[in-house]
Chains A and B, each alone.
Chain A
Amino acid sequence: GNSVTQMEGPVTLSEEAFLTINCTYTATGYPSLFWYVQYPGEGLQLLLKATKADDKGSNKGFEATYRKETTSFHLEKGSVQVSDSAVYFCALSDGDDKIIFGKGTRLHILP
């Protein structure tokens, strides 16, 4: 079945450091891929998405490229801020009526 695997956290970085959170997926078809972010005490918010191979999703300085050859959708940001501290979820949808989520990666940014 379809699944999403993302790197376990927590990830701790200093402000202005480069961020990568790895995500790989298993799917039978051509899924759409997502990154969601959850700030403390809140629900999940869609951060970015990509719907086909080689698409790059971007938002708020974050980027992720849909790599079909490596079945990956790694999240990157060039210079993180304290306000980026949150839990990040990688997810996929294969056109079915549900989205499948990874277990989440907690990110701590130190000032």
Chain B
Amino acid sequence: NAGVTQTPKFRVLKTGQSMTLLCAQDMNHEYMYWYRQDPGMGLRLIHYSVGEGTTAKGEVPDGYNVSRLKKQNFLLGLESAAPSQTSVYFCASMGDSYGYTFGSGTRLTVV
């Protein structure tokens, strides 16, 4: 089915470990986004991309890096995980029409 696929769905990290979250979309969308969702905070934008090879900072970029080497993929990296990065991470993409298509999320716990 067409859409946005996030891997992994769940992950537990120890403080200081690194990991990469993968987002893949097959809708040929130009725009892609990474959000984190925390209780009472709604969705907060981490980084986004307006096309292949581009990235930009969102509201809460510290501690994260991203890359968009291919149009269909948007990677979110944590170089040295901290407990404050325990969250649910959502990827989204947007094409010509308004509105996002979201992935199903990655639940990350940092202990």
Please name all residues of chain B whose beta carbon is closer than 8 Å to the beta carbon of A45 when the two chains form the complex.
102
CB-based nearest A residue for B100: A99
**Dominant SS at the B interface?**
strand
**Which of the segments A13-21, A60-68, A72-80, A100-108 contacts the partner chain?**
A100-108
Taking each of B4, B48, B90, B98, which has the highest tally of chain A beta carbons within 10 Å of its own beta carbon? Answer: B98
User: How many of B's residues come within 8 Å of A, CB to CB?
Assistant: 22
Please name all residues of chain A whose beta carbon is closer than 8 Å to the beta carbon of B102 when the two chains form the complex.
43-45
User: How many of A's residues come within 8 Å of B, CB to CB?
Assistant: 20
* B41 close to A93 (CB less than 8 A): no
* B98 close to A43 (CB less than 8 A): no
A40 shortest CB reach to chain B, Å: 11
Please name all residues of chain A whose beta carbon is closer than 8 Å to the beta carbon of B40 when the two chains form the complex.
103
Please name all residues of chain A whose beta carbon is closer than 8 Å to the beta carbon of B90 when the two chains form the complex.
43-44
* B41 close to A49 (CB less than 8 A): no
The listed residue (B4, B50, B99, B104) touching A49 by CB distance below 8 A is: B99
**Which residues in A have some Cβ–Cβ distance to B below 8 Å?**
32, 34, 36, 41-46, 49, 51, 89, 93, 97-99, 101-104
